[in-house]
Every structure is written in structure tokens, then in C-alpha cells.
Structure 1
């Protein structure tokens, strides 16, 4: 394992991160933050005589970061509300497009999610690296306005192949969550990182709470094409909000050219620290998406096989789960200030595993909904705690690519989960819930095993 910088090296590097404003004393100093792995402190010192200054990041002004965070939370809410208007009902939309058999419709829905997730996993690190070079705000705008065109086109398709192609394009061009999280993480002071990541994740869940419910009502009353048109309109609103309301003081940081051995040591250190977080993101999304393609079919089965009102009922359950998950995200944001984030992740994953198992045993729609809502309370805390840990470990100049890597893991889980769920339908409608429980239990055990290393690195 590559050695971490010594306390003397950190002190020297941090001392170099302060800039003298002309008076030569502490009162004339401007506080800057040195961005090195595990060297996150603010200090006052003189510029070394004749020395080169390392890359630094200006601490954001009070009003600026609050405004940007508020705009991004609102944008995140609108975006997630938009994306969840139509996608939860994809199996039912596919039946309208000519795939009448429920099992084949679930398989098509799973395949579309898989193609979209794989494409997003491929592009996320590329977009993240680009964000480190051109700015985070530009990547948020790219993802949002691309969604306007792609998802809006889904309202006009005439067959499952065209829908599959647009889902692939969606994966290649969108990805708003990681782009928005990177912008917020780079804008807020470090002592506000935990609460800010919790607010961003709460916005995701809150948007996901309203989306399925509103989309289900729209679909039942006007047809399954209309939610996709509404999605495009809301994404346009979200993009304009970010364009006009957020502020970013981004300056590409100068990078020295390291030697080959230094690059190898740095790469190994990054993967040793980020590896556990990447696995958590993968398992969390895999577990969360296994049930997606089959949930409307399970609800229809428990409701006696009736199709009428299934979309509204599905949307109500998904919306309720998202509300409980948003509450869980806020609780987790507070807990990370008291407990180490790895312990918070493990506790949330373990609790979610128990209630995922109970869903597989539910005998009615009511019990399924209750167990799923309680599971949402636990699973809502996993990603905010993981994002806080990521922000503590990764220096600002690498956050774009770091969030991109975790987004790739999330996308891979999103790609594999629906396909696994669709294939498990042939085993039984309850099988996806049992797999979800096992994956969440594995996530809990993995984080317990990794906690000592992560606590040491972020402490």
C-alpha cells in the first residue's frame, strides 16, 4: 500500500497553501484551502520565498455557496420528479407498444434499463474528467438539456426498438445526479458537506416520491405517452434554473507532471480508498433496481390480476417509499456528524435487507407497501453517508472523476438489476425481493469489513 503523507509533509504543504495579501501578518492573510489527500485544513502562513505555489481552491463566500446549494437542491428535485414520471411504468407502456405478454414486457423493460445503465457507466468517468477541466456547471447543463430531447422523444416512439434506442442514448448523454453532487461538493465549505449531501439525496428521493404518483395519475387518465412529454418540460425548467440561478467560480488547477512511479502509487492509493465506496454504490443500486421491472406486475398479481388502477397504485407505493427514503437521507446526514460514515452505511444496509426479505413474504398489496416504505427509510441513508465519506477522502481537483467513478458503479448496478429482476420472473414473482435482501446484506458485511481502513483514511 502506498504510504500516506507524513504529518510534517502535510504541515509543509498546508503552509504553502496560504497566500499573503501584502501586509505580511496574519490579519492580512486570505484563507485558502490546500487540496491534498488527507490534508484538509485551513491555515494562515507566509508564501515561501521564491517558491512555486501548489494548486489551491478558494474557500467559497458565504452567500455564494448557499445560493448555489439552494438552486441545485431545487434542480435535483425537479429533475428526479421528471425522470420518474414515466420510467416506472415502462412495462405497461411496452404492452401498449405491442409487447402484450407481461413476461416479455418485463424483459424488454429490463433490457432497456440495462442498455441505458451500461452506456451511463461507460460515459460517467469521461464526463467526470471533463468536469475537472471545464467546470461542473457545464456538465449539469449538458445532462439536463440532453434529457429534454431524449426523454421527450420517448413520447413519440411507435415500437419497442425505438424506445430501446432512446434509452441507450439517454445513458450516453445524461447523468444529472453525479454532476450535481460534484458541483455542490466543490461549492460548500467542508463542515457543511454532510448536510449538503443529505439535502441533495433528499431532493432525489423527494422528486422520486412525487414523480410516480403524478405520472401514474397522468398515465391512467391520458395514456402512457403523456408522462414522457411532461418529463421533457420539467427538465427544461430544471436546466434553465441551473443556467440562470447557480454560480460557479471554477478555475482549472495547475497540475505538475508526476513520474511514472508517482502515478502508480497515486492510482493505487485512490483505488484502495475509493474501492469500498464504489462497491457500495454498485450493490446499493443493484439491490434497488432488481424489483423495478416487475413491481407493477407483482402489484397486479396481489390485486387479483386487475389492470385498472395498477399504475396509480404503483405510483402511490413508489412515492411513499421515496418520502421515507428522503427522511432517511436527512437522518443519515445528521448521523454522519456523530458516527463514522462507514458505520452509518452498514447499519442502513442491514436494516434494508431485513425489510426487503419481508416484502418477498407479503401476502397483500398493503403489506408489500408497508414493508417497502420501511425499507426506504433505511436504504435512503446509504448513499448520503457514502457521499460524505467520498467528499472527505477526495481532494477538490479530483472530485469530478471520483464522483464519475462512483456514478459508473451506480450505473452498472442499474444496468444489471432490472435485467436480473426480469429473468427472475421465470423463477417466481417473489424471487427479485429475495435477491434484493441478499444483496443488501452483502453490502452491510462489505462495509463492516472495510470500515477500519476508511475510518483511518478519513479521520
Structure 2
């Protein structure tokens, strides 16, 4: 079982694992700008096949992460969250080196799948902090922690593109591996956890885990909400640059404009996440979640009506500020409904649904855009979020199960 720290060591852990999440986010996003180029270097040159295999290489990591997450969550409840952080950071560092040596698309796919299986630094960081932080500060703590991976994901593509131009594609994987190994060392020497291992025979079954929840229906709704948040975020990804080109016409700096518009939600999230977390600690994370779900609908619909890229960018900035509140609010509500002994598994289930959303969101966006046009993606996404808003509202109104 977990033992709460006797002092403010949870704050020290928070800042350390924030740095670890930053390194993980940066490490993962370092390779994203040139992943299609790497697939091409491995022998896929046909344009349609290149798009297909790049999409598969991107999605397969999330797919296998979703499959593996419950196993690692169960193990973290038995062996401790710090051990899972170390396992994740070191495993990903090793796989990144191997990806740098890949010789064909099949090797890349297998290694990207292995990357998903061995991943999970961020959900285990969430579980570690959630079991240590005082409940009254959980919203702020989880909101602050969420900015770590966001910060890394923002800076990663910029550095990755620069490194690829300077040194070529393969060396970037080795640099990424070094970044992840630094994450491993920081976690090993500076993260502290008081944890008493649980034997396999004493570990709770999945049925017992869900039976111990204070409100099973609400937790299931929160899992679903996590998936929808990622679906809504990812649905725009495949069409963003093409939509901006439709708005701007032929411009020489399309890539730069697209990069700015793509990154502004992350910048807004850095500013708003801790503040929304504090607000949730004061008025309740349920109110924050419902409010921000509703606001996001009113941000998505005008995106289908814009006539310039700066209007789209402004709306995406506002949407990023709103979206930053959602996942920490969900995680805080989950924390309210669990005990520390099942935190690893419950947060891993939530991560699995998040990964499912990461896979299905871009697929949904691409399908809707191909069938009905770019602008329809925003209407369709708003409708999905509206359904989730109603589902969440009804779940909060349902009396807590006895």
C-alpha cells in the first residue's frame, strides 16, 4: 500500500516528475516532424503508400499502449509507481536507439508498437502524484503536472526539425534516446516513494477494483470523457494544414503558419491549466469539467465559419485554454472516487481510453473531411462533445451508488 509523505515531499516529487514528463513529451515529439521522411527513407516512396504507412506508424504506438496500459497499471499497484516510471523511461530509451537502426517499414512498425507497450511514463506520474498530494490541492497539482508533457510536446518538434536538418534523420533517434535516459536518471535519483509491495495473491482482481470504486457509473463516464477529449483534439490534426491552405490560398509560408496555428493551443494550456486546477479545488472539478465542455462546443462551431487563418488561430488558442482544464478535472474526479491501492490500475484504464481517442480522433476527422469537407469536421466534433456534455451532466446528477 501507499503511505502519504509526512511533509511537503509531494511538492518536490511533483516538480521532479513534471520535469520527467517534460523530457518524455519532448522526446516523443522530437521525431514527429520528420516521421514521414523516415518512412520514405525506409523505402516507401509512393505518395499514397507513404501517407498510409506514416499513419499506421503513428497510430500503432497508441494502439499498443492502450492494450498494455492495464497490465502496467496492475503491476504499479503491486510494485510501486516509481518502478513503473523507471521501467517506462529506460524501455523507451532503448527502443528509440533501435528505431534509429531500423532497415525497413516492418521493423519500424514493430519497434513503434514496442514503444507503445513500454510507454506509460505520464499516467504513472499522474498516479504517483495523485496518491501523495493532499486532496484539497489535487486539482492544482494535476493541472500543473499536465503542463509538463505539453511543454515538451511544444518544444520537441522545433528542436527535432532543427536537429534533423543539422545531423540527418537517424541521429535524432539517438538524441531522443539520450533525453529519455536522462529522464530515467532524474527519476532514479530524485523521485521518492514510500511503498509496501503487494504479493500477487493479495492483489485485487479487476472485479474487486471496480467494486471498490465509490461511484462506478461516474468513473466509467470519466473514462469515456477522456476518450472524447482526445477524439476532439485529434480530429482536426489530419486536416489542419489543408484547411489553412483553403483559407489562405497559395502562400509561401504555409508550413510556418500551420505550425503556429497548431502550437497555440499548447501555449494557452500552459497558462490556463494550473489556474483551472486551482479553480476546481475551490468550486469543484465537476463544475469546471461541465463548464469547459460547454465552452469548447462554442469554440469549435465558429472554427467552421472562419475566413482567415488568424481567426482560426485565435479560436484554437481559446480552445487550448479551455481544453487544458478538462483532463486534470477528470483525473481529480477519478482521484475522489478511488483509494490509493487501486490508483495505478484506474489511471492506466483512463490512459488506455485516452490512447483509443488518440487513434480514433484523426481517423474520424479524416473520414468526415473526405466525405463532407473540412468545415464539417468542426461541426461533427462539436456534436460529439455535446453528447459527452449531456452524458457527463446526467452522470453527475445520478445519486452515488451505495
**TM-score > 0.5 by shorter chain:** yes
CA contact (8 A) 2:369 2:377 kept: yes
The structure carrying a bigger helix percent of its residues is 2
CA contact (8 A) 1:342 1:451 kept: yes
Q: 1:444 to 1:297 in 2, by over 3 A?
A: same
CA distance in 1, matches of 2:101, 2:366: 25
CA contact (8 A) 2:226 2:354 kept: yes
Worse-matched range after superposition: 422-431 or 134-143 = 422-431
Unmatched runs of 5 consecutive residues or more in structure 2: none
1:353 aligns with 2:297: yes
Larger radius of gyration: 1
Aligned residue number for residue 147 of structure 2: 202
Q: 1:376 to 1:248 in 2, by over 3 A?
A: same
Aligned length: 400
1:341 aligns with 2:285: yes
The alpha carbon displacement at 1:311 in A equals: 5.1
- Write out aligned runs for 1:403-414 (5 A): 403-414=347-358
CA contact (8 A) 1:124 1:175 kept: yes
1:242 aligns with 2:187: yes
| Residues 369-427 of structure 1: CA deviation (Å, up to 9, x unaligned) | 22222211111110011111111111000101110110111111112222333434533
TM-score (norm 1): 0.77
The alpha carbon displacement at 1:240 in A equals: 1.1
The alpha carbon displacement at 1:148 in A equals: 1.4
Worse-matched range after superposition: 408-417 or 101-110 = 101-110
RMSD (Å), alpha carbons? 3.2
CA contact (8 A) 2:78 2:200 kept: no
- Write out aligned runs for 1:18-167 (5 A): 57-87=2-32, 89-91=34-36, 93-94=38-39, 99=44, 104-167=49-112
CA contact (8 A) 1:156 1:225 kept: yes
Worse-matched range after superposition: 75-84 or 241-250 = 75-84
Q: 1:154 to 1:360 in 2, by over 3 A?
A: farther
Aligned residue number for residue 25 of structure 1: none
Q: 1:432 to 1:171 in 2, by over 3 A?
A: farther
Q: 1:257 to 1:203 in 2, by over 3 A?
A: closer
Q: 1:319 to 1:214 in 2, by over 3 A?
A: farther
Aligned residue number for residue 136 of structure 2: 191
- Write out aligned runs for 1:422-437 (5 A): 422-427=366-371, 428-437=373-382
1:286 aligns with 2:204: no
Q: 1:432 to 1:218 in 2, by over 3 A?
A: farther
Q: 1:231 aligns with which of 176, 183, 199?
A: 176
CA distance in 2, matches of 1:321, 1:60: 35
Q: 1:347 to 1:125 in 2, by over 3 A?
A: same
Q: Secondary structure at the match of 1:421?
A: helix
CA contact (8 A) 2:212 2:338 kept: no
CA distance in 1, matches of 2:310, 2:325: 24
Q: Secondary structure at the match of 2:30?
A: coil
CA distance in 2, matches of 1:301, 1:159: 35
The alpha carbon displacement at 1:190 in A equals: 2.6
Aligned residue number for residue 271 of structure 1: 216
